[in-house]
Amino acid sequence: MSGRKEGVVFVGSFRENFPEDNRKHVVFVGRSNVGKSSLINMLVGRKVAHVSKEPGRTRAINFFLWNDELYLVDVPGYGYAKVSGEERERWRLMMEKYFTQCREKIQWVFLLIDSQVGPTPLDRSMIEFLSSLNIPYVFVLTKEDKADQKEKEKTIKELSLLSKAPIVITSAKEGKGKKELLKFLKVE
């Protein structure tokens, strides 16, 4: 066995001066309360990311080191959050700075979409933004356990029309989709 460390370690919350090593990033993006932190916790098998029912709790870009090889990056959600317009604008600028500065290190973006809601106008804007920077992404349908078959089919159809990106259906509550997502976390 090599000297690498197994598991996940919280590295810190950043608004700028992001980690500068050469590790790849897997970024969790989506609207507020879509389940980014829950999905990270499901993938690593324990609670490392703070989960809240209140939208807008993640206010900085949180880095978690996975098996000493790559970063899992939890970013603030977009859309509804009980914060001022000024704070929302700070988040937008912070996100733009992160994506433009770190785009060469980003291996994948997991773009989380609520299975019941489907892609929102803000999700569509994120797809355009990621595409403009040539950053690869995967659609991750969350809260599969709460959506009925018709809602899931509608969401999948809408996403298929927007992009040829892979689609993974998940439920953090039930652990569904974990195996499929872990395949994207391989270091190249």
Q: Give residue-wise pLDDT tens across range 63-106.
A: 999 989 999 999 988 875 566 677 667 878 888 999 999 999 99
Q: Residue 14 and residue 73: Cα distance in Å, rounded?
A: 10
The answer to the question of residue 172 being in a domain is yes
Q: Does the global pTM surpass 0.85? A: yes
The answer to the question of residue 175 being in a domain is yes
pLDDT of residue 58: 57
Instruction: Report the Cα 104 to chain-centroid distance in Å.
Output: 17
Phi–psi pair at 146, nearest 5 degrees = -100, -15
Does pLDDT of 56 surpass 50? no
The answer to the question of residue 145 being in a domain is yes
Angle at 61 between CA 55 and CA 64, to 5 degrees: 110
Contact 135, 165 (CB under 8 A): no
Closest CA to 173 of 35, 16, 23: 35
The answer to the question of residue 110 being in a domain is yes
The answer to the question of residue 67 being in a domain is yes
Does pLDDT of 52 surpass 70? no
Top-confidence residue, 133 or 1: 133
Domain count within the chain = 1
Classify residue 5 by its DSSP letter. P
The CATH number of whichever domain residue 37 belongs to comes to 3.40.50.300
The answer to the question of residue 1 being in a domain is no
The answer to the question of residue 61 being in a domain is yes
Range of the domain at 130: 8-185
Q: Give residue-wise pLDDT tens across range 8-28.
A: 999 999 988 999 899 999 999
| Measured CA distances, 5 to 8, 38, 69, 185 (Å) | 9, 23, 9, 16
CB atoms within 10 A of CB 161: 8
The answer to the question of residue 3 being in a domain is no
